[in-house]
A and B are shown apart, each in its own frame.
Chain A
Amino acid sequence: MRILSLLLIIASSLFFTGIVIRTKSIFSGRKGPGIFQPLKDVWRLFRKGAVYSETSSFIFQIAPSIYFASVLMAILFIPFGEFPGVISFNGDFVFFAYVLALGKFFSILSALDTGSSFGGMGASREALYSLLVEPAFFILMGSFALLTGHTSFHEIFNALHFGSYISYAIGTLAAFLLVIIAMIENSRMPVDDPKTHLELTMIHEVMILDNSGFDLGLILYATNLKFAMYGAIIANLFFTPGHELYYSIPIFMGIQVLFAGVVGGIESFMARFRMNHNPQFIFTLTSISLLIFLGVLLMLGKII
């Protein structure tokens, strides 16, 4: 049953971006494309050959595969309720974060490899934002580890019980934090605008401007997977032990759909931040994660 979470994440990755796009279409008064349209686009790209610039090196060619592999690898660590992920060991959430960072490192390298002035700009922005997001994630997971006394994803989530008021507050804050982290890591609004055609304002999009065909398909599908992966982490916060699969699987899917709807809603009703406001915004996440840390200390009676 270890493979269950992998299968469910892949299943929800198939429709996740579709729901986001559909939500946005409905909010703007349009019908919008079908839910599986992003997937069809990826499939179309998979059947195409890639074009490589003469000035780019092998890094540019291997980076999309490494990026995709890193996301897939990270997914293997995600548990599903009481079932651990395919790989699980003590301290695996640190490995999880840095496997993702490895993928990002290669996509930054490949953006620099193209030699375009845009690529460098996007790479520097993306590097800065993921650097700023890191403390928030680690303080969150560290607080959970402190609370539960375990250090692997599976054990942390399995031991996480919500009961007291403080723990509900912590759960809500953690869910909020994970939604925003997912938005930033996937370069969505309000930090980045995936729809823009203007290179100067892009972050993630500008890094993959030179990718085409199969490589681009891999990168796009990795984004879908990444979204579903964060959705799965959020879903794990809401499982309580002892639930049967016919309960927890609908809860999982429901949370994924809700998450996608929230992303679509945020993207419909607000404007994107000015670039120099982004670091401030991302720093706020760290302070929220510190609140969680404080809550955990309160629960454990370490202070007062």
Chain B
Amino acid sequence: MENYIRIKNNQSVPLQAIPVLTYEDFLEQNTGFMLNEANHCVNYYGVPQGDKLQLICCMANDVEHVIYVSSSLIEKQADLPSFTARHLAFHIFEREIHENFGVGYIDHPWLKPVRYPFDRTEKGSQIKNYPFYKIESEELHEVGVGPIHAGIIEPGHFRFICNGEQILHLEIQLGYQHRGIEKLFLDNKKNLQRASLAESIAGDSVAGHAVAFTNLWESLCGYNAGAALQFTRTLALELERIAVHTGDLSAICTDIAYQLGSSVFGRLRTPLINYFQIWCGNRLAKGLIRAGKNNFHFTNELREQLLQLFDAYEPDFIEMYNELKRLPSALSRLEKTGIISKELSEEIGTVGMSARASGINRDVRFSHPHDLYSRLDHEPAIKHHGDVYSRTQIRKEEILQSIGYIRELIQAIPHSDSQILKRGNEEREIGEVGRGLFAISLVEGWRGEICHCAITNEKGDLQHYKIKDPSLHNWMALALAVRNNEISDFPICNKSFNLSYCGHDL
């Protein structure tokens, strides 16, 4: 008997339809899923239901293109056996549940707070007296970096234990950017407010999170987005991928002090983000993606500009990349630095680009296609070494792939629904939110898999909103990648992952 329901990406189902299991069965079933390589956990979180807590676990199957959802009702502050003891990929989810609701796990190896500077159920246990990992030895030294970042990007605290120049252990402490976004989603009732909240989850993944939110919202409203809307979203996601990847290549060159690469890739990125400015009036694509409407139609004029942009971009990009990959001094910095093996990557459940650099075929565009991706026949770029150079190569391949997709997409611009249904200024109304629904939306942002989940109550209002940025999994990969590397190689490892602080902290 199946104790779970299978849903597709962007499908909404009545909350009642999700089977409620005893915690033991729930644990057995979901950790059992992990034995199959095709499955991984996309979200696992708790929703308060009265005085109880409903745990919802969403496991994605990449081969069957479905998501298995199951749940369990438990008492708050119960002491339970943990998923993490069976499979490490759950560790961050259980730490979050522990932090938010005080659920105790008897065999969780590392119940460290995720975002708060104190344990919310046990106020005495604070980060200032938190027992950070220590190795006692005369020869070792500890280096603490942050929370103020040297380049003043975002705050995070990194503790290294080093033997001379070699890193033995890195412990990352985040949470400085916690803004309570999930709660703000419930407090702000207007669609516009929620859409701009989604755009602010992580400033570098505006399109990614906005698409996840709008797809989810439309699914809750039972609205089928027309071809023009899907076109806009797909195009925005791919453009964002190209822009951010190019910027990352520039930053990687900066970190190895390769000036030519740094300035050329930097120059190539600017017209891309400026293109968003031309299209929608914001360089980060804020305001472009809205549920049920298209504020900025993609015109033939815009298509010409985009084609011109790519014609200028591609040759320069390829020339510069070839220059970089032929430069011995650059390769000696990139190759065999910050290695994450495939086994390790699977164990800690990395997603997105950094998982693909370690040889894992994990890409929502291919496994759970949304919008126009089912039409594109996407084949993920995979690398196998899991080092900084693999993550650099992945970026280059994805950039060229995305340019190809965009060229293919813009051959035929779909007519906007509102252009067809033009009666005055009226657009097809998005309609009311369904009652008592659960919906999930997966989007492959440039960094990796973004997952938004929502539950609506009986009045047709949001009851719970859950966001998962790919950074949540991948910070652990960074902490493990730098082990046995030199401490001076930490910045280049960090840049090759380019994880989000605020996406993690929410």
Q: Are B259 and A27 in contact (CB under 8 A)?
A: yes
Given contacts A117-B143, A190-B329, contact A274 B489 (CB under 8 A): yes
Considering only residues 224-281 of chain B, those with a C-beta below 8 Å from chain A are: 253-260, 262-264, 267
A302, CB-defined interface residue at 8 Å: no
Interface 1/0s, chain A 12-45, versus B by CB < 8 A? 0000000000001001111000000000000000
Q: Considering the chains assembled together, what is the distance between the CA atoms of A271 and B144 in angstroms?
A: 27
Point out the residues of chain A lying under 8 angstroms from B253, CB to CB: 271
Shortest Cβ distance from A76 into chain B, in angstroms? 34
Q: Are B329 and A275 in contact (CB under 8 A)?
A: no
Of B150, B258, B264, B488, the most chain A CB neighbours within 10 A belong to B488
B317, CB-defined interface residue at 8 Å: no
Considering the complex, give the chain A residue whose CB is closest to the CB of B336. Answer: A274
Q: Considering the chains assembled together, what is the distance between the CA atoms of A118 and B148 in angstroms?
A: 14
Point out the residues of chain A lying under 8 angstroms from B302, CB to CB: none
Of A198, A199, A268, A271, the most chain B CB neighbours within 10 A belong to A271
Chain B interface residue bracket vs A: 20 to 34
Q: Are B488 and A271 in contact (CB under 8 A)?
A: no
Q: Are A277 and B332 in contact (CB under 8 A)?
A: yes
A47, CB-defined interface residue at 8 Å: no
Q: Are B257 and A193 in contact (CB under 8 A)?
A: yes
Q: Are A118 and B143 in contact (CB under 8 A)?
A: yes
Of B150, B330, B487, the most chain A CB neighbours within 10 A belong to B150
Q: Considering the chains assembled together, what is the distance between the CA atoms of A103 and B487 in angstroms?
A: 27
Q: Are B260 and A28 in contact (CB under 8 A)?
A: yes
Q: Considering the chains assembled together, what is the distance between the CA atoms of A271 and B335 in angstroms?
A: 13
Point out the residues of chain A lying under 8 angstroms from B491, CB to CB: 198, 200-201
Q: Are B329 and A201 in contact (CB under 8 A)?
A: no
Q: Considering the chains assembled together, what is the distance between the CA atoms of A271 and B489 in angstroms?
A: 13
Shortest Cβ distance from A33 into chain B, in angstroms? 15
Shortest Cβ distance from A225 into chain B, in angstroms? 24
A2, CB-defined interface residue at 8 Å: no
Residue among B141, B165, B257 making CB contact with A189, cutoff 8 Å: B257
Q: Are A29 and B263 in contact (CB under 8 A)?
A: yes
Q: Considering the chains assembled together, what is the distance between the CA atoms of A196 and B255 in angstroms?
A: 7
Point out the residues of chain A lying under 8 angstroms from B337, CB to CB: 274
B490, CB-defined interface residue at 8 Å: yes
Q: Considering the chains assembled together, what is the distance between the CA atoms of A201 and B493 in angstroms?
A: 12
Residue among B145, B260, B332, B490 making CB contact with A274, cutoff 8 Å: B332
Of A30, A270, A275, the most chain B CB neighbours within 10 A belong to A270
Q: Are A271 and B487 in contact (CB under 8 A)?
A: no
Q: Considering the chains assembled together, what is the distance between the CA atoms of A121 and B151 in angstroms?
A: 19
Q: Are B259 and A199 in contact (CB under 8 A)?
A: no
Residue among B257, B333, B489 making CB contact with A196, cutoff 8 Å: B257
Residue among B141, B142, B258, B487 making CB contact with A200, cutoff 8 Å: B487
Q: Are B150 and A29 in contact (CB under 8 A)?
A: no
A165, CB-defined interface residue at 8 Å: no
A-B contact count (CB 8 A): 85
Point out the residues of chain B lying under 8 angstroms from A29, CB to CB: 263-264, 267
Point out the residues of chain B lying under 8 angstroms from A273, CB to CB: 329, 332-333
Shortest Cβ distance from A275 into chain B, in angstroms? 4
Q: Are B327 and A270 in contact (CB under 8 A)?
A: yes
Residue among A201, A270, A274, A275 making CB contact with B258, cutoff 8 Å: A270
Point out the residues of chain A lying under 8 angstroms from B256, CB to CB: 271-272
A246, CB-defined interface residue at 8 Å: no
Given contacts A274-B332, A276-B165, contact A199 B150 (CB under 8 A): yes
Point out the residues of chain B lying under 8 angstroms from A275, CB to CB: 165, 486, 488-489
Point out the residues of chain B lying under 8 angstroms from A272, CB to CB: 256-258, 329, 333
Considering the complex, give the chain B residue whose CB is closest to the CB of A202. Answer: B488
Q: Are A117 and B144 in contact (CB under 8 A)?
A: yes
Q: Are B259 and A274 in contact (CB under 8 A)?
A: no
Interface 1/0s, chain B 473-506, versus A by CB < 8 A? 0000000000000111111000000000000000
Considering the complex, give the chain A residue whose CB is closest to the CB of B166. Answer: A276
Point out the residues of chain B lying under 8 angstroms from A195, CB to CB: 257
Q: Considering the chains assembled together, what is the distance between the CA atoms of A74 and B340 in angstroms?
A: 49
Q: Considering the chains assembled together, what is the distance between the CA atoms of A29 and B263 in angstroms?
A: 8
Given contacts A30-B263, A121-B487, A197-B151, contact A271 B165 (CB under 8 A): no
Point out the residues of chain A lying under 8 angstroms from B259, CB to CB: 24, 27-28, 267-269
Considering only residues 158-211 of chain B, those with a C-beta below 8 Å from chain A are: 165
Shortest Cβ distance from B384 into chain A, in angstroms? 22
Q: Considering the chains assembled together, what is the distance between the CA atoms of A274 and B150 in angstroms?
A: 20
Considering only residues 185-211 of chain A, those with a C-beta below 8 Å from chain B are: 189-190, 193, 195-201
Point out the residues of chain B lying under 8 angstroms from A196, CB to CB: 254-255, 257
Point out the residues of chain A lying under 8 angstroms from B258, CB to CB: 270-272
Q: Considering the chains assembled together, what is the distance between the CA atoms of A98 and B150 in angstroms?
A: 34
Considering the complex, give the chain B residue whose CB is closest to the CB of A270. Answer: B329
Q: Are A271 and B257 in contact (CB under 8 A)?
A: yes
Shortest Cβ distance from A274 into chain B, in angstroms? 6
Q: Are B260 and A276 in contact (CB under 8 A)?
A: no
Q: Considering the chains assembled together, what is the distance between the CA atoms of A44 and B410 in angstroms?
A: 54
Q: Considering the chains assembled together, what is the distance between the CA atoms of A269 and B487 in angstroms?
A: 24
Q: Considering the chains assembled together, what is the distance between the CA atoms of A273 and B488 in angstroms?
A: 11
Of B165, B259, B491, the most chain A CB neighbours within 10 A belong to B259
Considering only residues 258-304 of chain A, those with a C-beta below 8 Å from chain B are: 267-277
Given contacts A118-B143, A271-B256, A272-B333, contact A197 B150 (CB under 8 A): yes
Point out the residues of chain A lying under 8 angstroms from B267, CB to CB: 29
Shortest Cβ distance from A28 into chain B, in angstroms? 4
Shortest Cβ distance from A126 into chain B, in angstroms? 13
Q: Are B145 and A199 in contact (CB under 8 A)?
A: yes
Q: Considering the chains assembled together, what is the distance between the CA atoms of A28 and B141 in angstroms?
A: 39
Point out the residues of chain A lying under 8 angstroms from B254, CB to CB: 196
Point out the residues of chain B lying under 8 angstroms from A197, CB to CB: 150-151
Point out the residues of chain B lying under 8 angstroms from A200, CB to CB: 143, 145, 487-488, 490-491
Considering the complex, give the chain B residue whose CB is closest to the CB of A192. Answer: B257
Point out the residues of chain A lying under 8 angstroms from B333, CB to CB: 271-274
Point out the residues of chain A lying under 8 angstroms from B329, CB to CB: 190, 270-273
Q: Considering the chains assembled together, what is the distance between the CA atoms of A117 and B145 in angstroms?
A: 9
Point out the residues of chain B lying under 8 angstroms from A27, CB to CB: 259-260
Shortest Cβ distance from B346 into chain A, in angstroms? 29
Interface 1/0s, chain B 125-152, versus A by CB < 8 A? 0000000000000000111110000110
A/B interface sample: 13 pairs, CB < 8 A: A28-B263, A121-B143, A196-B254, A198-B150, A198-B255, A198-B491, A200-B491, A268-B259, A270-B258, A274-B333, A275-B165, A275-B486, A276-B165
* Interface residues in chain B, defined as those with a beta carbon under 8 Å from any beta carbon in chain A: 141-145, 150-151, 165, 253-260, 262-264, 267, 327, 329-330, 332-333, 337, 486-491
Other A-B pairs, 14, CB within 8 Å; known A270-B258, A271-B257, A271-B333: A28-B259, A28-B260, A117-B142, A121-B143, A190-B329, A193-B257, A198-B150, A267-B259, A268-B259, A270-B329, A270-B330, A271-B253, A275-B165, A276-B486
Which 6 residue pairs across A and B have the least CB separation, nearest first? Answer: A272-B257, A28-B263, A193-B257, A271-B258, A271-B330, A271-B256
